[in-house]
Amino acid sequence: MSQTIDFYFDFASPYGYLANIQIDAWARDRDCVVAWRPIMLGAAFKAVGTAPLLSYPLKGEYATRDINRTARALGVTCLLPDGFPHNTLAAARGFYWLADQNEDTAKDFARAFYHGYFGEGRDVSPAEKTADLAAGLGVDRAAFLAAVKDPAIKQRLKDETAAALERGVFGSPFFFVGDEPFWGSDRFDQMARWVETGGW
Amino acid sequence: MSQTIDFYFDFASPYGYLANIQIDAWARDRDCVVAWRPIMLGAAFKAVGTAPLLSYPLKGEYATRDINRTARALGVTCLLPDGFPHNTLAAARGFYWLADQNEDTAKDFARAFYHGYFGEGRDVSPAEKTADLAAGLGVDRAAFLAAVKDPAIKQRLKDETAAALERGVFGSPFFFVGDEPFWGSDRFDQMARWVETGGW
């Protein structure tokens, strides 16, 4: 039976982008199913007492270098759009609205967002731009725009974020193989071993 | 010609311990020489605005799990001594005093400290205990104890820590391959590729 990997990420997270590049092939090779779960990391930062990674002196400069180096190793670019980081609420809300109808479309939307935002370095975070991405996947543009303002969808994202925090998620990307948590785009090897062996 | 890898670490760092377990075989396989450089991370935490990893809620709990999981994957234990983290000034000072006489003895001392502290979970941080470890390597115990109180050695550690910070070191373990920085005990694969290819 396929194992489900929970993949939590923030749409404004460069390491989330790097994980999104790798996870599909990784999961396919291991007959795993991935449950994509965008969250707003701000709530976790408050709970933990941390701040966005790139805002720290020294650590932020290193992270920028590490992100670019890792991207190059993966054969992709990671470009930070002008004004990074942006508010990615519309993308996260739109994702859940799409997922309620068709999980695959929601994943395609997430990949398209990440590709536009970090792959091409374009600020696709405004609601109108996220709606363009969704429309490019055949989604009704007006319905998407209405959804991201829908109180029920807003609450849905808050609930997903709260549930993630409750589960111990404090960074992006963050994975669960069963109940085992893995943080970071550099934990695919350990996760592979966990999937194969059932843990150690 | 052998390439030198700079290996910065804090004696109270569990991930530094995990790196110390791996680095000798890693370097030997690649004909690299390792320059061990203990520092006191407190200065870096102040500069960056961070705190010791395990002091954060959620993040600290995850890190404890990740450290143990990684240790088990390496076939070793990582035990935090009662009262962790301790002040490891004596060990760091003693290291530099030893290194000025014999680099290999200093490395043996560092390995012995890490093994006692995390491998066996014993608080070997007091000056008297570090002197015991040094004596076990054939070092004059009284001379070692005098050295860790020597103002020149105290200053030496301050200078090494300041130089590391100047170079961008903000965590433990932290490596340089030439001028390229790598942070974390999970960057050995990237470092290997860097050594082999000269960078990408």
ipTM field: 0.94
Phi, psi (5° rounding) for residue B111? Answer: -65, -40
pLDDT at position A8 over 90: yes
pLDDT digits (tens, 9 = 90+) for A85-117: 999 999 999 999 999 999 999 999 999 999 999
Nearest CA in chain B to A174: B62
Overall fold of domain A3-197: Glutaredoxin (3.40.30)
* Per-residue pLDDT tens over the stretch B83-129: 999 999 999 999 999 999 999 999 999 999 999 999 999 999 999 99
Q: Provide, rounded to the nearest whole percent, the portion of chain B with pLDDT above 70.
A: 100
Chain B CB contacts of A49 under 8 Å are 51, 56-57
Cis-peptide into B52, omega within 30 deg: no
Please judge whether B73 and A193 are an interchain contact, meaning their C-beta atoms are less than 8 angstroms apart: yes
**CA-to-CA separations, B71 to A152, B43, B122, B185, B197, in angstroms, rounded:** 44, 27, 17, 11, 29
CA dist., res. A13 & res. B186, Å (int):
20
- Is A49 within 8 Å of B56 when comparing Cβ atoms? yes
* pLDDT value at B154 more than 80: yes
Q: What pLDDT does residue A140 have?
A: 98
- DSSP classification of residue A86: P
Residues from chain B contacting residue A69 (CB–CB below 8 Å): 190, 200
- Per the prediction, chain A carries an average pLDDT of 97
Global pTM value? 0.96
**What number of other Cβ atoms are within 10 A of residue B120's Cβ?**
11
Domain ranges of chain B: 3-197
State both tokens at A55: 């805002």
In DSSP terms, B175 is beta-bridged to: B7, B182
A1 versus B20: the higher-pLDDT residue is: B20
Q: Which residues contact A18 (CB under 8 A, 6 or more apart)?
A: A67, A70, A71, A74, A78, A173, A185
How many beta-carbon contacts under 8 Å exist across A and B? 72
Rounded average pLDDT over B137-161: 98
**Residue A57 with chain B: CB contacts under 8 Å:** 47-49
Q: CA nearest B185 in A: which residue? A: A186
Whether B59 and A186 lie within 8 Å, measured CB to CB: no
- Stretch B64-81: mean pLDDT, rounded? 97
Chain B residues with CB under 8 Å of a chain A CB are 44, 47-51, 56-59, 61-62, 65-66, 69-70, 72-73, 165, 168-171, 181, 183-184, 186-187, 190, 193, 200
In this predicted structure, the answer to whether residue A36 has a pLDDT above a threshold of 90 is: yes
Nearest-neighbour CA in chain B from A174: distance (Å): 11
Per-residue pLDDT band at B1 (split at 50, 70, 90): low
d(CA B45, CA A22): 32
User: Tell me, what's the pLDDT at A166?
Assistant: 97
- Distance in angstroms (rounded) separating the CA atoms of residues A21 and A33: 15
Give the minimum alpha-carbon distance from A165 to chain B in angstroms, rounded to a whole number.
Answer: 9
Write down the pLDDT at residue A122: 98
| Cβ–Cβ below 8 Å for B170 and A66 | no
pLDDT tens for each residue of A128-160: 999 999 999 999 999 999 999 999 999 999 999
Across chain B, what does the average pLDDT equal?
A: 97
- Contact between B168 and A48 using a beta-carbon 8 Å cutoff: no
Cross-chain Cβ contact A50/B72 below 8 Å: no
pLDDT tens digit sequence for B8-44: 999 999 999 999 999 999 999 999 999 999 999 998 9
In which residue are the tokens 């996870």 written?
A23
The residue-averaged pLDDT of A14-37 equals 97
Please judge whether B171 and A59 are an interchain contact, meaning their C-beta atoms are less than 8 angstroms apart: yes
In chain B, whose CA is at the least distance from the CA of A188?
B186
Residue B174 has pLDDT above 80, yes or no: yes
pLDDT computed for residue B156 by the predictor: 98
Q: In this model, does residue A1 exceed pLDDT 70?
A: no
